[in-house]
Amino acid sequence: MSQATVSRVLSGTVQVSEHTREAVMRALEITGYVPNASARTMRSGRTGSIGVVVTHMTNPFYPHLLEALSNAIHHVGHRMIVWDGRRDGETDAVSAIREKAVDSVIFTTATPDSGPLHEALRQQLPVVLVNRSLPRLPCDSVTSDNVAGASSVARYLVEGGRRRIAMIGGLRGSSTADERLRGFRSGLKRAGQATKELALVSGDWAYDEGVRCARELLASSARPPDALFCANDVLAFGAIDAARAAGCRVPDDLWVVGYDDISISSWGAYDLTTMRQPLREMADEAIELALRRLDDPERPPVRRRLTSELVVRGSTARHAAPGG
Amino acid sequence: MSQATVSRVLSGTVQVSEHTREAVMRALEITGYVPNASARTMRSGRTGSIGVVVTHMTNPFYPHLLEALSNAIHHVGHRMIVWDGRRDGETDAVSAIREKAVDSVIFTTATPDSGPLHEALRQQLPVVLVNRSLPRLPCDSVTSDNVAGASSVARYLVEGGRRRIAMIGGLRGSSTADERLRGFRSGLKRAGQATKELALVSGDWAYDEGVRCARELLASSARPPDALFCANDVLAFGAIDAARAAGCRVPDDLWVVGYDDISISSWGAYDLTTMRQPLREMADEAIELALRRLDDPERPPVRRRLTSELVVRGSTARHAAPGG
């Protein structure tokens, strides 16, 4: 009995024995069938759901990314199933592809040591990375160009006359942290600043880590930094609060630059100069890649890198963002 | 053919004609059947998914609630499907119950004029309100006790010697805004403050509204307020920034109190005294009510109100929170 025949059984346009019809209907019913829900699945073999694994929902960056993904997923008429990566979410999400509860899964906080991600790729299950990329894995990914973005921040600080530049990096081993550090180093070098002098501490993307790292930088240096690049906005908020608590004026004594441009960055208390990631475009591209991967599982992996833009605000003395 | 018989067809422990077996298997296959995914549905008639409708993911309150719901839903072994209430999310979520894509739906921003919610209740579909309650609707709900909480804030401010007290209310018509206003008024009255003197403006729960409302309150009064109660933390952040921009010192000139205790409230820039909602307990109770409703669709609606707690920080002069 073909799929088309089952469709005709359901629509009543074909004659089958009452026993067969009842068996079909009963089987459909106990799998949760009602006509509307399964019509699309019957036509396309798809669930109409896309999974998202997100790790720190209350870190203010992720709700922005999650909202952008929600918009993109609902825009293509799909449902969004969300897992928390801290609680076996990666494992559950990959299982959900196998169990046909979702068509594919978007990973927002992938790292090279993610077992479930490796397993998914080994089994050629459809997954897409967004915000993170893993160059050694054969996997679709969408990020902003973190190397170029951080390099542009370095140029902006040097052109602004900053000479004792420090950085608070993100969690080491994540592509976002590693690429922003690499880009910042190369940007400083290109602008004629000796990068070996770069004071660097690393935190876990969180406010408290920004406070801790900034305290360390301000206390340990005989000559305290006159500029601080933070690998994300939330670290920068912590750094600004720590600097102020230490009697250091922002931007008079210390320029602070973040990365992301989440909504809090424009709030009066922080007024943060930051590199804006194009989250909406990143989310749209990720969902487009997810759908294309379903249509053509054999296509070569695509890595998209979108351009970021420096937004200059009051945490640095105002002057134009660099042209390049 | 009974459900048990279909199970035996699948497990191979019963003899049926090859034609019937093939029809059953084909029907199961085209509805997305794989053994793991459907085993639970076959046993229980449940999808194993719970829907959540959330309206402002980037308003920092909602990620806290969403994370708490995610934890509660995954704790009971279910999946969480998320809809954005601004984009037909309520309609889609209610449809998903009918289509058996989710077992039930949690509404986090319900208002009395929600058409899809009324429709769901009319059809006796399983929905639970969390954070909001609608007293006239026969519906399970979990909130904190907003009336008692706001009343307690009023008592704290009066006991702290504040005499020109103003309030920035939330969006009128939402139970959270209406209950906090009512509780605050009654608390002031009980503490001997004339509530007709209460300066009140209302905003839409967002930072920019807090800025706008605080500016209005500080500019319009011949005698500016010496205390400001904001119906949520995000409004309070805007109010603090607006007050500082107007040269008003917090807490020396103006005490500011929020509601929720989201993580930003403890950040150095705001250090906000606020009423802490027990989000984790609220989420756990909501999911428990959702599961109970599935087990017993006829049970009378339950309204749970959990106790909040005042957290005193630097946005008010420090003294003990009221005992009651």
Please give the average per-residue pLDDT across A265-284, as a whole number: 98
Q: Which domains does chain A have, with CATH numbers?
A: 3-44 (no CATH), 49-144+278-308 (3.40.50.2300), 146-276 (3.40.50.2300)
pLDDT band at residue A39, thresholds of 50, 70 and 90? very low
Residue B30, min C-alpha distance to chain A (Å): 6
pLDDT tens-digit readout, B166-213: 999 998 888 999 999 999 999 999 998 877 777 888 878 999 999 999
Any idea how long chain A is?
324
Average pLDDT over every residue of B84-101: 90
- Report whether pLDDT(B78) > 70: yes
DSSP 8-state secondary structure symbol assigned to residue B99: T
**Residue A74 CA from chain centroid, whole number:** 18
CB atoms within 10 A of CB A118: 15
Mean pLDDT, rounded, of chain B: 87
Residue of higher predicted confidence among B14 and A36? B14
Computed on alpha carbons and rounded to an integer, the radius of gyration of chain B in Å comes to 24
Closest-CA residue to A257 (of A219, A306, A312, A218): A312
The whole-number pLDDT of residue A115 equals 92
Percent residues over pLDDT 70 in chain B = 83
Tokens of A320: 């134009």
**DSSP reduced 3-state for A246:** coil
Note whether B268 contacts A36, CB cutoff 8 Å: no
Residue A306 sits at φ, ψ, to 5 deg, of: -100, 155
Residue of A nearest to B51 (CA): A81
pLDDT digits (tens, 9 = 90+) for A90-99: 999 999 999 8
- Cα B168 to Cα B200: distance, rounded to the nearest angstrom: 6
Name the more confident of A312 and A322: A312
Average pLDDT of chain A to the nearest whole number: 87
Best residue in A14, A42, A81, A95 to probe B by mutation, most B CBs within 10 Å?
A81
CA-closest candidate to residue A62, choices B58, B203, B266, B107: B58
User: Do the beta carbons of residue B157 and residue B229 sit within 8 Å?
Assistant: yes
What pLDDT, on the 0 to 100 scale, is given for residue B321? Answer: 55
B104 in Cβ contact with B121 (< 8 Å) = no
**A37 to chain B: nearest residue by CA?**
B99
Give me the amino acid identity at A195: T
- Helix/strand/coil for A1: coil
Closest-CA distance, B172 to chain A, in angstroms, reads 24
DSSP secondary structure letters along B130-186? ES---TTS--EEEEE-HHHHHHHHHHHHHHTT--SEEEEE--TTSHHHHHHHHHHHH
Question: Which of B34, B79, B92 lies closest to A81 in CB terms?
Answer: B79
Euclidean distance between CA atoms A111 and A93, whole angstroms: 16
Contact B13, A12 (CB under 8 A): no
Helix, strand, or coil here: A154?
A: helix
Put simply, the answer to whether A33 touches B31 (Cβ < 8 Å) is: yes
- Quote the distance between the C-alpha of residue A51 and its chain's center: 14
Residue A247 has pLDDT above 70, yes or no: yes
Q: Answer yes or no: do A70 and B84 touch at CB < 8 A.
A: yes
Split at pLDDT 50, 70, 90, the class of A318 is low
Rounded to a whole number of angstroms, the distance from the CA of B253 to the nearest CA of chain A is 18
User: How far is the alpha carbon of A35 from chain B, nearest alpha carbon, in Å?
Assistant: 8
Q: What is the pLDDT of residue B24?
A: 67
Residue A189: how many other CB atoms lie within 10 Å = 15
**pLDDT band at A227, cuts 50/70/90?**
very high
Please give the helix or strand (H or E) that residue B274 lies within, else none. strand B273-276
Task: Summarize pLDDT for B112-164 with one digit per residue, the tens.
Answer: 889 999 999 999 999 999 999 998 899 999 999 999 999 999 999 999 999 99
Out of A34, A58, A100, name the one closest to residue B63 (CB): A58
Calpha distance A224→A254 (Å, rounded): 9
Percent of chain A with pLDDT over 70: 83
- Chosen from A11, A17, A26 to mutate, greatest number of chain B CBs within 10 A: A26
pLDDT tier at B25, thresholds 50, 70, 90: low
- Cα separation of B105 and B111, whole Å? 15
The per-residue pLDDT for A11 is 45
> Which region, left, alpha or beta, applies to residue B310 given φ > 0 means left and ψ of -120 to 50 means alpha?
beta
B42 to chain A: closest CA residue: A30
Q: What is the pLDDT of residue A37?
A: 42
Average the pLDDT over each of A162-171, A289-298, B9-18, B260-269 and give the range with the smallest value.
B9-18
Pairing of strands B273-276, B309-311: antiparallel
Q: Do A19 and B22 touch (CB under 8 A)?
A: no
pTM of the model: 0.86
Section B246-268 average pLDDT: 97
Give pLDDT, residue B200: 84
pLDDT tens-digit readout, A107-126? 998 888 899 999 999 999 99
A:B CB pairs within 8 Å:
204
* Residues from chain A contacting residue B26 (CB–CB below 8 Å): 1-3, 6
Q: Which residue has the higher pLDDT, B39 or A194?
A: A194
Largest CA distance in chain A: 89
Contact between chains at A62 and B63 (C-beta distance less than 8 A): yes
Measure the CA–CA gap between B322 and B320, rounded to whole angstroms: 6
Taking contacts as CB-CB distances below 8 angstroms, the residues of chain A near B2 are: 26
Type of residue found at A305? R
Q: Are the C-beta atoms of residues A42 and A8 closer than 8 Å to each other?
A: no
Res A21 pLDDT > 80: no
Interchain pair A63, B84: CB under 8 A: no
Contact B156/B310 with Cβ under 8 angstroms? Answer: yes
User: What is the DSSP code (8-state) at residue A92?
Assistant: H
Q: ipTM score of the complex?
A: 0.85
Write the CB contacts of A40 (distance below 8 Å, at least 6 apart in sequence). A46, A48
Q: What is the pLDDT of residue A117?
A: 94
Question: Has residue A23 got a pLDDT over 80?
Answer: no
* Helix or strand (DSSP H, E) at B106: strand B104-107
Residue B3, pLDDT score? 57
Closest CA to A112 of A141, A92, A83: A141
Instruction: Calculate mean pLDDT across residues A283-310.
Output: 96
What is the mean predicted confidence (pLDDT) over A20-47? 58
Q: How far, in Å, are A216, A276, A282 from residue A285 at the CA level?
A: 39, 17, 5
Kindly list the residues from chain A whose CB atom is less than 8 angstroms away from the CB atom of residue B30: 3, 6, 38, 41-42, 45
- Cβ contact A84–B74 (<8 Å): yes
B241 vs B168: CA distance, rounded Å: 14
Q: How much is the pLDDT for B39?
A: 45
- From CA A210, how far away is CA A237, in angstroms rounded? 7
pLDDT at B12: 45
Q: Which of A3, A47, A66 sits opposite B32 (nearest CB)?
A: A47
The CA distance from A286 to B117, in Å, is 32
* Binary contact (A26, B3; C-beta < 8 A): yes
Instruction: Read off the pLDDT band of B324 (50, 70, 90).
Output: very low
Q: Is the pLDDT of residue A158 over 60?
A: yes
Query: A219, A234, A228: which is closest to A171 by C-alpha?
Result: A234
Binning pLDDT at 50, 70 and 90, where does residue B308 land?
A: very high
Is the pLDDT confidence value at A160 over 90? yes
Helix (H, G, I), strand (E, B) or coil at A210: helix
Closest B-chain CA to A56: B67
Considering only CB atoms, A42 lies closest to which of B30, B99, B207, namely B30
Check B60 against A26: CB less than 8 A apart. no
Asked if B57 lies within 8 A of A67 by C-beta distance, the reply is yes
Judging contacts by C-beta atoms under 8 Å, the chain A residues touching residue B98 are 34, 36
pLDDT value at residue B34? 47
User: What is the reported pLDDT for A29?
Assistant: 59
pLDDT value, residue A13: 46
